[in-house]
Amino acid sequence: MEFTAQIIAGYLGGKVEGDPNVKVTTVSKIEEGFPGSLAFLANPKYTPYIYSTKASIVLVNEDFTPEQPVEATLIRVKNAYEAFASLLTLYAQSKQPKSGVEEPSFIHKSAKIGKEPYIGAFTYIAEDVVLGNNVKIYPQVYIGPRVKVGDNTILYPGVVIYEECVIGNNCIIHGGAIIGADGFGFASSEETNYKKIPQIGNVIIEDYVEIGANATVDRATMGSTILRKGVKIDDHVHIAHNVEVGENTVMAAQSGVAGSTKIGKNCMFGGQVGVSPHVKIADGVKAGAQAGISGDIRKPGVIVLGSPANEISKQRRSMAVYKNLPELMNKINELERTIEELKNRINP
């Protein structure tokens, strides 16, 4: 598909600076731009590339001020990153959507399928499943008994959804993710060492949630494990039983949240963040990569780093001390030797 700068600016509500008739057919990174492509500049770190890029069009923020001539046509928008995401969404939607039911696949006679579905080959849909309208089920997906999946939701290849889980509207679950496996519940027993505690709850995933590849969300022991509206979790994230994740919270890859933890809305977790069980985390908390959260965080909007996690200002001071530990140790050793020499002089 081919678009002019003027058409793109009209769609985004932006302003063209340069040739309004220049055409693009694809997108590119700004540092790898080439004629006929569109790039964007949102991170100041990449500003030098705007003067050398070969991209035909570059999206920039309204307040961008070039320090030297720019060859590309600019489209000024309120938020270049968000505008670029909108264009990618439009491009993805322009592709021919899949539809129909491929064979071989198994759909139980009691299952209810909405309008315009796509059900890929080797999919298994169990009894009393309810699928909404325009649901896309890619090959080799398993959907267990009494599962409900909302409108416009996409389940990519290899997704497994255990019985009685509920998936909302406009969700995306990527390949290999498992929703509703048993929570890690065992009781100590003299006879068998550990006795399994049946996990009889479910998982509820609200609207506009996206779950990365090979992520796992465990079912509750009783009640529900809940991912609220707009939650985004990356690949290889683990959400344990009875956890509740608040609206629009995001978690990067390899994070793990232990059982019965309650996380507020609009939180952000970096990669490999670990959260202990039964912890409560306030709204808007940000945890840096590899932070270990072992206790409640009750203050909204704080940033924590380290393991055990600490507020960023305190953690930075601690890290500064830690870096100097070898020198401090040498000084302590030197002081100990000096004290010992003084003792020997006083008490020969």
Q: Catalytic residue positions?
A: 241
Say how far apart CA 178 and CA 166 lie, in whole Å: 13
Peptide bond into 104 cis (omega under 30): yes
Strands (E), 43-115: 57-61, 73-77, 100-101, 106-107, 112-113
Contacting residues for 8 by C-beta, under 8 A, at least 6 apart: 14, 24, 38, 57, 75, 87
Query: Can you give the three-state secondary structure of 125-180, one letter per residue?
Result: ECCCCEECCCCEECCCCEECCCCEECCCCEECCCCEECCCCEECCCCEECCCCEEE
Return the residue matching tokens 């290849």: 157
> What single DSSP character describes residue 98?
P
Return the amino acid letter for 57: I
Cis peptide before 308 (omega within 30 of 0): yes
Helices (H), the chain: 5-12, 80-94, 312-323, 325-346
